[in-house]
Homo-oligomer: A and B are copies of this chain.
Amino acid sequence: MTAPATSAQAPRHTEPLADAVVDALQALLDGTRRDVRDQCRQLEPELFAPPGQPLDMESHRARVRQQLARLAETPWPAGGFPVEQGGTARYADSVTALEMLGHADLSLLVKAGVQWGLFGGAVSLLGTERHWAMLPDIISGRLLGCFAMTETAHGSDVQGLLTTATYDPESDEIVVHSPALGARKDYIGGAARDATVAAVFAQLLVGDENHGVHCVLVPIRDDSGAPRPGVTLSDCGPKLGLNGVDNGRILFDHVRVPRTNLLGRYGDIDEEGRYRSPIASSGRRFFTMLGALIRGRISVGGAAGAAARSALTLAIRYGDERTQFAKPNSSEEVRLLDYRTYQRRLLPRLAQSYALGFAQSELVSAMDDVLSGRATTEQDQRQLEARAAGIKALMTWHAAETIQECREACGGAGYMWANRFASLKADTDIFTTFEGDNTVLLQLVAKGLLGDYQETFGDLDTLGIIRFGARLTTGTVLERSAVRGLVQKIIDAAPGRPDETPFTTRGSQLRLVRDREEHLVETLAIRLRRVSDSHADAFNAFNRCQDHLVETARAHVERVVLEAFAAAVETCPPGEARSLLDRLCDLHALSTIERHKDWYLEHDRLSPARTKALTATVNDLCERLRPDARRLVDAFGIPEAWLATEMMADHEEGYW
């Protein structure tokens, strides 16, 4: 074992530990995209480090606008687009760079995500050749756009949007209109200040027919920055966080744009004014369009993970140095991280951060495969969507809870703005909501788990799902994953029943977590069939399964995340770093199982004696990992300039 970081030889806390274990861990965490991460780490600190003091809203917006311009000079924005559209098709690099920005000012991350991920992504993925000419200007930031999907009255329910885009054959134009106050586009990043063009999601009406939600490009500002005729813009004003992003509102009063402004890849109007689509079902068409925009969701999850890692680094470095209360019969004060309660609050979350980080890396690779055409089946696409939704939900909740716990763990110091938790908390808070409300996303994941729902793809309302559930005999979990085979081997190698083997047997851990998921999926399918057999009110019947649905999805994602961690341990070369990582994976697996102790007891998977031993094992793991906690956060490789805090500077100067 390595010497504890708390020994007298410990380096100054403002420098990361330089040792082989930290290097090896960082190499594993950085993975195949180390070069992009290192380039991000070298961004000019004076421009990219989080602001040293709170900025007023307008100064903050101006700073972020300036950062965006600088970011446009890097290779990453172009990475998000195919070569034939003027990009460099380095999708994973592009998303990884955004993730790294999650360590800096999150307003910039969101601003960049809107410009290149959402607005640029819509033009690239929903548009056709005639729109791609705009992409060089979008990539370079000469043309700033916004993504006008959410309306005041409809957020999660995108299919229910009220804005209309009506084709007028007389003038060969599309008329974009807000037919009700509730149709007002709301919370739109870029709408308050910088965007000149909006990608507007609206019900497409051609002749007598509503073809469902499509996306139309609508110029909203002229060269002077004034709203275009028929466009009413307003400012959402200050928010809980992310005040460097200029969120605003848009109302359209019969705004006319050329027919060709329709982003028509999945549904277009031809020169004769006829609607044409390669996808017959309007429901399926809608989900295909949304599915194309997966990158935003993946980036939000990535950035949330980065923010959680920043918070953990700050709190663990603090807890590793800060003392409070003397030991019995001694004048030596105890370091916070030596207290069990402290270890219990922070170390399982640290382990979870590693686990989610590995799962996120896997997800980004899967995304790269799909976007670059290496994975082409509908199942690849659907699995990617489910993974992205599930990991986004767990990652953003993890971030919110972890940052809160870290703030509390730093006490009064944690409350001072200069110590970073204020902005980390405020900025990430909305991540649980945007790019898909977590609770809604988990329901989508669960629906996906109920089997190959291809046939019902065009009919995804609740009744459809109930009918679908009724067709199942048992739940089937379809998936393909790079780690799946590896994991199966570990499970097969574990001897006997999970109730008999030591908790630190990886195969038993994996089996316990998988078992829970499978049971939840099966019982959900059975319940939904029963619901369908009865003649109960469809909404009520389905609604009563909602908590089961959410729990099933959570169990599924937890299994996926643990498998990603287990696989990462296997790829780590033998040595001290691997032993440490192995123990951290134990902590993650066992604290996950412990969190669902009630389930394992209720379903007779673990005896009361075993669950008591489980808790003791988790406590023991925390104690054993504590000396390496500092190493484990240093391996995140967050630039020191982005971690500067007053509390640690005070420590350096001898204030504590």
Residues of A within 8 A of B (CB): 53-54, 56, 150, 152-157, 160, 180-182, 184, 186-187, 236-241, 324-329, 333-334, 338-341, 344, 400, 404, 407-408, 411-412, 414-418, 421-422, 425-426, 429-430, 432-434, 437-439, 461-463, 466, 538-539, 542-544, 546-547, 550, 597-598, 601-604, 608, 611-612, 619, 650, 653-656
A439: B residues at CB distance < 8 A: 341
The answer to whether A324 and B417 touch across the interface, beta carbons within 8 angstroms, is no
Q: Given the known A-B contacts A186-B412, A240-B421, A538-B328, are A612 and B619 also in contact in the complex, defined by CB atoms under 8 Å?
A: no
Taking the nearest CB of chain B, how far is it from the CB of A150, in angstroms? 7
Given the complex of chains A and B, what is the CA–CA distance between A56 and B612 in angstroms? 52
Select which of B339, B414, B462 is within 8 A of A433 by beta carbon. B414
A650: B residues at CB distance < 8 A: 152
Taking the nearest CB of chain B, how far is it from the CB of A356, in angstroms? 19
Taking the nearest CB of chain B, how far is it from the CB of A285, in angstroms? 19
The answer to whether A612 and B608 touch across the interface, beta carbons within 8 angstroms, is no
A619: B residues at CB distance < 8 A: 544, 547
The answer to whether B412 and A434 touch across the interface, beta carbons within 8 angstroms, is yes
Select which of B237, B543, B598 is within 8 A of A598 by beta carbon. B598
The answer to whether B155 and A411 touch across the interface, beta carbons within 8 angstroms, is yes
Q: List 16 interface pairs A-B (beta carbons < 8 Å), by A numbering.
A: A53-B237, A56-B56, A150-B412, A157-B326, A181-B655, A182-B655, A187-B412, A239-B416, A328-B461, A328-B538, A404-B404, A404-B429, A412-B430, A412-B434, A597-B598, A601-B608
Taking the nearest CB of chain B, how far is it from the CB of A592, in angstroms? 14
Integer count of this chain's copies in the complex: 2
The answer to whether A325 and B160 touch across the interface, beta carbons within 8 angstroms, is yes
A466: B residues at CB distance < 8 A: 328
The answer to whether A182 and B656 touch across the interface, beta carbons within 8 angstroms, is yes
Q: Given the known A-B contacts A153-B655, A329-B538, A340-B544, are A433 and B415 also in contact in the complex, defined by CB atoms under 8 Å?
A: yes
The answer to whether B400 and A404 touch across the interface, beta carbons within 8 angstroms, is yes
The answer to whether B608 and A603 touch across the interface, beta carbons within 8 angstroms, is yes
Select which of B411, B544, B602 is within 8 A of A597 by beta carbon. B602
Which one of A53, A150, A439 has the greatest number of beta carbons of chain B within 10 Å?
A439
Q: Given the known A-B contacts A150-B412, A328-B461, A598-B598, are A340 and B546 also in contact in the complex, defined by CB atoms under 8 Å?
A: yes
Select which of B239, B429, B542, B655 is within 8 A of A184 by beta carbon. B655
The answer to whether B598 and A604 touch across the interface, beta carbons within 8 angstroms, is no
Taking the nearest CB of chain B, how far is it from the CB of A620, in angstroms? 9
A152: B residues at CB distance < 8 A: 650, 655-656
The answer to whether B325 and A417 touch across the interface, beta carbons within 8 angstroms, is no
Given the complex of chains A and B, what is the CA–CA distance between A542 and B341 in angstroms? 12
Given the complex of chains A and B, what is the CA–CA distance between A547 and B180 in angstroms? 55
Of chain B, the residue at the smallest CB distance from A461 is B328
Taking the nearest CB of chain B, how far is it from the CB of A525, in angstroms? 18
A408: B residues at CB distance < 8 A: 432-433, 437-438
Given the complex of chains A and B, what is the CA–CA distance between A654 and B184 in angstroms? 11
Given the complex of chains A and B, what is the CA–CA distance between A463 and B417 in angstroms? 37
Which one of A153, A180, A238 has the greatest number of beta carbons of chain B within 10 Å?
A153
Given the complex of chains A and B, what is the CA–CA distance between A412 and B601 in angstroms? 38
Known contacts A54-B238, A547-B619; 6 further A-B pairs (Cβ under 8 A): A156-B325, A325-B462, A328-B463, A328-B466, A414-B433, A601-B601
Of chain B, the residue at the smallest CB distance from A543 is B340
Given the complex of chains A and B, what is the CA–CA distance between A339 and B442 in angstroms? 14
A240: B residues at CB distance < 8 A: 407, 415-417, 421-422, 425-426
The answer to whether A547 and B655 touch across the interface, beta carbons within 8 angstroms, is no
The answer to whether A334 and B432 touch across the interface, beta carbons within 8 angstroms, is no
Select which of B156, B328, B412, B437 is within 8 A of A539 by beta carbon. B328
Select which of B236, B324, B344, B602 is within 8 A of A611 by beta carbon. B602
A414: B residues at CB distance < 8 A: 433
Of chain B, the residue at the smallest CB distance from A414 is B433
A603: B residues at CB distance < 8 A: 608
A325: B residues at CB distance < 8 A: 156-157, 160, 462
Which one of A53, A241, A539, A650 has the greatest number of beta carbons of chain B within 10 Å?
A539
The answer to whether B400 and A412 touch across the interface, beta carbons within 8 angstroms, is no
Taking the nearest CB of chain B, how far is it from the CB of A184, in angstroms? 6
Q: Given the known A-B contacts A340-B546, A655-B184, are A238 and B417 also in contact in the complex, defined by CB atoms under 8 Å?
A: yes
Given the complex of chains A and B, what is the CA–CA distance between A28 and B46 in angstroms? 58
Taking the nearest CB of chain B, how far is it from the CB of A458, in angstroms? 15
A418: B residues at CB distance < 8 A: 237-238
The answer to whether B411 and A429 touch across the interface, beta carbons within 8 angstroms, is no
Taking the nearest CB of chain B, how far is it from the CB of A56, in angstroms? 7
Q: Given the known A-B contacts A550-B341, A601-B598, are A416 and B236 also in contact in the complex, defined by CB atoms under 8 Å?
A: yes
The answer to whether A437 and B422 touch across the interface, beta carbons within 8 angstroms, is no
Given the complex of chains A and B, what is the CA–CA distance between A426 and B439 in angstroms? 24
The answer to whether B429 and A407 touch across the interface, beta carbons within 8 angstroms, is yes
